[in-house]
Amino acid sequence: MSPSFRIRPARTSDVGAIRALVAPLADERVLVAKETVAYYEGLQEFRIAEDPNGTVLGCGALHVMWEDLAEVRTLATAESAKGRGVGTALVERLLADAADLGVRRVFCLTFEVEFFRKRGFEVMKDQSPVDPEVYSQLLRSHDEGVAEFLDLARVKPNTLGNTRMIRIL
C-alpha cells in the first residue's frame, strides 16, 4: 500500500500553511512562533508532507548549525493527520537530508520525548555537545534556535520544560 502522502521541499506558497500548522502549537508554547519573514528566509530548510490533493499535512525543517551539527525544528502535523506516520516520515527525510549534507549529529528541543526516542534520539547529557571554540562561534549567531541550543537566558521563557535530544547518524 502506498502512503497517503508524500514528502517534498517547501515552496513559497507553503508559508501560509506552515504558519497555520505552527500557530496552535505556538499558542500552547510547544513551538516558538516566528515572523512570516523568518519562514521565507528559512524556506529551503523545510520539507512538507502533503496528501494527493495537495493539502499540507505537516512540516519540518533541518537547520545546520555547524560542520557536524544540525537541528530538527518546526516539526508539526495537522490534527487531522495525527497517527498516519506524517511526523515519522518528516523526521526520516530530515535525517536523510542531514546525512546528505555531511552532518553526523542532529538534535532537537522537544516536549515529545517518546516520539523522538522511538526515532533513535537520546536525551542529551549535561555536557555541551560542542567544544568551547565552536560554542564561542555559535554565540555570534542571531538565530533564536541557536540561542535555545546554547541555553541562553534570553530564550528561557520559550524553552522551559523542553528536552534536548540528539541522534548520531
For 138-159, write each residue's pLDDT tens digit: 555 566 555 556 554 444 444 5
Q: Which three cell numbers stand for residue 66?
A: 555547524
* Residues 75-108 pLDDT 10s: 999 999 999 999 999 999 999 999 999 999 998 9
Has residue 150 been placed in a domain?
A: yes
Q: Are 51 and 5 in contact (CB under 8 A)?
A: yes
31 found inside a domain:
yes
Q: For residues 45 and 70, is the Cβ–Cβ distance under 8 A?
A: no
Domain that holds residue 64: 6-168
3-state DSSP assignment of residue 70: strand
CB contact at 8 A, 39 and 15: yes
The answer to whether residue 69 is domain-embedded is yes
Mean pLDDT of 118-126: 88
Query: Is 23 in a helix, a strand, or coil?
Result: helix
User: How many domains would you assign to the chain?
Assistant: 1
1 located within any domain: no
Span 45-63, average pLDDT: 97
Within-domain flag for 130: yes
Q: Which three cell numbers stand for residue 51?
A: 496528501
